[in-house]
Structure 1
């Protein structure tokens, strides 16, 4: 179904994105500090479940389009590539924020799980990201587009769950190191911006 090199590229890009702290990572870290490792892991699993829901929604909406014609396929790919470049430019040009703190009330692991699902599912930026990101790795000639969406979504959610779980387990010993690396925050926009723009340009000029 998937070319090995394309699949490895997908995994590498996803892991690279995880290394740049975003809202989901911040939520997991905050929950872990406030409620402990179990709450942090539950929050990460909730985020992964929300990502899987976004994947299914994207698959239902786009798999039929991608199978319609080569023109429709290329249009979706080009729009997605342009959106990724746009995100990259915005991230690259933005100024790093201050030390904002997120205040969250104490919850049980089950509550943290369902709250994280809701937060991820109701985030429109996440929905747009999946609509733009996943189609770049879909090849209708390789089989069912819906099945490819599902596999990529499962991989993304699995990697997300694993990464956030490790983060929750390691947050205490890493806390001092994170404080020491606080100066790197000024570069986070440049890093993620470059990644998005590079991926967008690669997609824009590649052949179907």
Structure 2
């Protein structure tokens, strides 16, 4: 069976965005370092839940747009490409400045509260819906079926869960956390290049019709 989606491209872009430093990853790292593995995992699962909610909303919205107007999808493609270039700029600026954002202390946060915090963190982030909109324009087309959308949502969700829970597991070890902070500027520079490449690809690749 031939698919009308480019799943490897979508997952690659989602991996770059999920693994790159941001409010969610910094909150997970900070929670895991200060409150331990269990609380860090709870916050990570909250972030995953919020991410899945935005993913479903974006996928359903794009499905409706594709069913009604191909030019609207094309407009979203340009907006998505521009947003990915904006992320590249933010990562490059952070790499140059070398600043490290910190979240408030969370040493006494319970697991249920940490989950709620992670969920709220992602649901109240307006950039999340922009990201998922740009993500799906990477590899979807007007011929994308409902079954293929479900496949994309599930694959992106599983990958996000693996990434965010891995952050919680890794940063519950102090030695790994300290090593990451020393190399953070190099990671930011690499993510800037990857975001820029993805954005340019969105802007220069015509979607299949």
Query: What TM-score bracket applies, with the shorter chain setting the length?
Result: 0.7 to 0.9
Shift of 1:168: 2.5
Report the counterpart of residue 132 of structure 1 in structure 2. Answer: 134
C-alpha spacing 1:121/1:2, structure 2 compared with 1 (3 Å):
farther
Deviations 1:14-50 (A, max 9, x none): 2333432322122112222333222111111110000
Cα distance in 1 for partners of 2:124, 2:60 equals: 18
Report the counterpart of residue 9 of structure 1 in structure 2. Answer: 9
TM-score, structure 1 normalization:
0.83
What are structure 2's unaligned runs of at least 5 residues?
Answer: none
C-alpha spacing 1:48/1:65, structure 2 compared with 1 (3 Å):
same
Shift of 1:3: 4.2
Report the counterpart of residue 110 of structure 2 in structure 1. Answer: 108
C-alpha spacing 1:127/1:70, structure 2 compared with 1 (3 Å):
closer
Cα distance in 1 for partners of 2:103, 2:75 equals: 40
CA contact (8 A) 1:65 1:73 kept: yes
SS class of match (2:117)? helix
SS class of match (1:141)? coil
Cα distance in 1 for partners of 2:144, 2:152 equals: 14
SS class of match (2:206)? coil
Cα distance in 1 for partners of 2:44, 2:2 equals: 27
Q: Does 1:165 align with 2:156?
A: no
Deviations 1:76-124 (A, max 9, x none): 2122112212332343244231463532362222221122111110011
SS class of match (2:99)? coil
CA contact (8 A) 2:36 2:172 kept: no
CA contact (8 A) 2:29 2:40 kept: yes
Shift of 1:5: 8.6
Q: CA RMSD in A?
A: 2.6
Cα distance in 1 for partners of 2:49, 2:100 equals: 30
SS class of match (1:140)? coil
What are structure 1's unaligned runs of at least 5 residues?
Answer: none
TM-score, structure 2 normalization:
0.83
Report the counterpart of residue 193 of structure 2 in structure 1. Answer: 194
